[in-house]
Amino acid sequence: MVVSAAYSLNMDNLSKPDQSLKPVIGRFAPSPTGPLHFGTLLAALGSYLIAKCSGGSWLLRVEDLDPPRVVPGAADDMLRLLERLGFEWDGAVIYQSQRYQRYQQILEQLREQGRVFDCNCTRREILASAPHPGEEGPVYPGTCRNGICGSRAERAVRLRVPDETICYSDGVFGEQQQNLEKEVGDFVLYRADGLFAYQLAVVVDDIDARITQIVRGADLLTSTPRQLYLYQCLGVAPPNYFHLPLAFGDNGKKLSKRNGDFGLVTVENSSNMLWRALEFLGQLPPAELFDSAANELLCWGLEHFQTKMIPVEDCQIRF
């Protein structure tokens, strides 16, 4: 079990949330890589209801970290549609694209603490020397830990990970564990193409916003131990996690912006989609509400939502 104070560091500008008194602060953090689809709606709805049902606030962050993947106008369209559905977020929307300096500052602090190293290995070099395939591609074999050994001009920055098992209890999926060194390897915080990695940005943003509760798709279950380790490196108490089951289309593919128009949420179908999202999350919305207005469905959700009803199986969905 690694979530301990063993690596606790004094980081002056990262204050620790007081776990005993903390108000719930949840968030929804979509990547604006296309229009709102059913999978994203599940994360919006789940994070909203779980935060609001415990009297918490709900923040919105646009994860536009990776400019080539950002679709112009997608964030605005998504926010407008959510607003129309009756979602109300607290405070101003945060944009990752405006926070590069902050990520740089944290990266420098981690460097000063000797936790990161430059790596100029190519993908092919990593693949050739990786001990075995990991959670997401080959496990990084530690090649540049003691000085760069690769052949590429550009350098990534990686976080050194220990040979320890990170354990956590997910609010939906229960006990989880992962050995970072064996299953992932030293992971990238700054990419060789000059962009900050999602793993760094998400943790820095959630810490700065004092997020206490993270609700998102189960595709990120295996990213969570990396993020927990970053919390530990930064000396900050981690939030609680709730991962939601994933929706698959008829073709067996995860519903996502990359898989075409299937499952798109539009002004016309948005209420029905909300009803389906409630049902998908195991909440048994009454059939007579199927054609109700979106804000009525959200009100029903606020009154009836129960986290323990959320199923743990990913599921196929037909529209």
Q: Which residues bind to ligand GLU, rule: CB under 6 A?
A: 29-31, 63, 202, 216, 220
Nearer to ligand GLU, 58 or 117 (CB): 58
Shortest distance (Å) from residue 59 CB to ligand GLU:
12
Nearer to ligand GLU, 120 or 176 (CB): 176
Shortest distance (Å) from residue 215 CB to ligand GLU:
8
Closest residue by beta carbon to ligand GLU: 216
Shortest distance (Å) from residue 319 CB to ligand GLU:
21
Shortest distance (Å) from residue 162 CB to ligand GLU:
23
Shortest distance (Å) from residue 43 CB to ligand GLU:
7
Nearer to ligand GLU, 126 or 202 (CB): 202
Nearer to ligand GLU, 63 or 183 (CB): 63
Shortest distance (Å) from residue 264 CB to ligand GLU:
15
Nearer to ligand GLU, 30 or 238 (CB): 30
3-state SS, the chain, equals: CCCCHHHCCCCCCCCCCCCCCCCCEEEECCCCCCCCEHHHHHHHHHHHHHHHHCCCEEEEEECCCCHHHCCCCHHHHHHHHHHHHCCCCCCCCEEHHHCHHHHHHHHHHHHHCCCEEEECCCHHHHHHHCCCEECCEECCCCCCCCCCCCCCCCCEEEECCCCCEEEEEECCCEEEEEEHHHHCCCEEEECCCCCECHHHHHHHHHHHCCCCEEEEEHHHCCCHHHHHHHHHHCCCCCCEEEEECCEECCCCCECCHHHCCCCECCCCCHHHHHHHHHHHCCCCCCHHHCCCCHHHHHHHHHHHCCHHHCCCCCEECCC
Nearer to ligand GLU, 121 or 207 (CB): 207
